Structure 1
Amino acid sequence: MTSDPQKPIEVAIIEDNQALGESLQRVVESIPNARCIGVWGTAEEGLKKIDAFRPAIVLMDINLPGMSGIEATALLKRHLPEILVIIVTVHREHEKIFDALKAGACGYLIKRSRAADVRQAIMDVYAGGAPMSAEIARRVVEAFHQNAAKAGAETETVVLSQRETAVAKLIAEGLANKEIADRLGISTETVRGHLKNIYEKLHVRSRTEAAVKYLDSVRSRNVFP
């Protein structure tokens, strides 16, 4: 697919607090070249609409009635791994934030964040970043390393194409999508396509997990260009 610079960044919001949902919608629509495709109060309702509209980003409340934001994130990343999820949470929910990131969320926002911080997080995630604290990031990386170590000899051989290998290497170096595109001389849309393939081949749901699994696989010679 060819990248269209005129295409707006489409954002969906799943938030059961109506006032907060409307506030987030206003923030999204204040971003140049972005639009909110809808606000839904439950994961069950929101996931149906997201499957139909396929937005680029979802702002997901972590505490929802019925299916939780963590469960919804895992389900969404399993079926639509290219969609980026930002968890919206309250302070000191470190365990839930950690679980959401393991489920595939790209980062998180604290409720009561300033509008400028919300806008920056959305743009950072769209560019390939991952807004999260150093403490949470460290715990996620450690968990993925532990999981890789437990897998041990059961790790399967994964074949990445030469271009996918180059993209995975740059992800592991911490580069954002725009930086990867510039480095490789390709469009950001093409980078996203390679990311989708990498996620599927490595059986992961987030950039952090992809980077760690790629590095572990390279060390054990289970990834080949």
Structure 2
Amino acid sequence: MTTVGIVEDNLGLGESLQRVVESTPDCEFAGLWRSGEEALHKVPVVKPDVVLMDINLPGISGIEATARLKQDIPGLLVIMVTVYRDHDKIFDALKAGACGYLLKRSSPAEVRRAIQDVREGGAPMSAEIARRVVEAFHKPQPPAIAPASEQVHLSKRETEILEFLSQGLANKEIAERLTLSVETVRVHLKRIYDKLHVHSRTEAAMKYRNTQRG
């Protein structure tokens, strides 16, 4: 069972998403919160598996709320919900820890598919945003030499998983390549995030690519 919370200041849209979640097999509605501030207070208590997060919230934005929630709950899966394909905001949200995004006009079937995708380690996003992520991987970064105390030591298995993640593979695909369970891959990813001090697949992949260049 996947528990799903919704952060949306538009009550009509929030209740519409709630009905989609409640009518989805294997999904359980965890709560509807009207602001980023409320989400920061309630999500750590309720601990849903997935959060549908409005990107444009009054007060604390959906991007900031995502970044702060991911610091406290690294395993939280956040899907941004937006009116337009605002590439800059969506890309900032991915860097903040979001797993993907949905347009507010998405059909119930698209919402259900996105929730399933993130639970399986995927990242629902358009081709344009995926291209921005790939471009970020190849953008030159200034070399940085970390002190010995900050050097990261990954196990062989963690390195293998990170390499596959940087290629864009979902958790299910990584599990199949390495003959592991999806849950085992998730456990390894949590350790990788902790060691790299990151909160999302995008951040981990970018950091890995930069390390490989060095």
**TM-score, with length taken from structure 2:** 0.91
The gaps in structure 1 that reach 5 residues or longer are: 1-7, 221-225
2:197 corresponds, among 203, 211, 224, to 203
- Kept in 2: contact 1:172–1:212 (CA 8 A): yes
1:215 corresponds, among 177, 196, 209, to 209
Residue of structure 1 equivalent to 2:36: 43
Residue of structure 2 equivalent to 1:63: 56
The list of structure 1 runs, each at least 4 consecutive aligned residues, that deviate by more than 4 angstroms after superposition, is: none
Residue of structure 1 equivalent to 2:122: 129
SS at match of 2:144: helix
SS at match of 1:149: coil
Count of residues in correspondence between the two structures: 211
Shift of 1:86: 0.5
Deviations 1:168-223 (A, max 9, x none): 12212322112222332332222111111111212222212212322332342xxx
Shift of 1:145: 4.5
Shift of 1:104: 1.3
1:21 corresponds, among 14, 20, 23, to 14
Deviations 1:90-129 (A, max 9, x none): 1142221122112111111001111111111111111111
Deviations 1:63-87 (A, max 9, x none): 1121110110111112211111100
- Residue 169 of structure 1 pairs with residue 160 of structure 2: no
The gaps in structure 2 that reach 5 residues or longer are: none
- Kept in 2: contact 1:141–1:212 (CA 8 A): no
Partner amino acid for 1:94?
Answer: H
2:181 corresponds, among 180, 187, 191, to 187
Residue of structure 2 equivalent to 1:73: 66
Partner amino acid for 1:169?
Answer: E
- Kept in 1: contact 2:55–2:61 (CA 8 A): yes
Aligned-pair Cα RMSD in Å: 1.8
Residue of structure 2 equivalent to 1:83: 76
1:154 corresponds, among 134, 139, 145, to 145
Deviations 1:148-186 (A, max 9, x none): 612x13355311122211211221232211222233233
Distance 2:37 2:138 in 1: 32
> Cα distance 1:205–1:144, how it changes in 2: closer, same or farther (>3 A)?
farther
Distance 1:129 1:87 in 2: 14
Paired-residue identity, %: 64
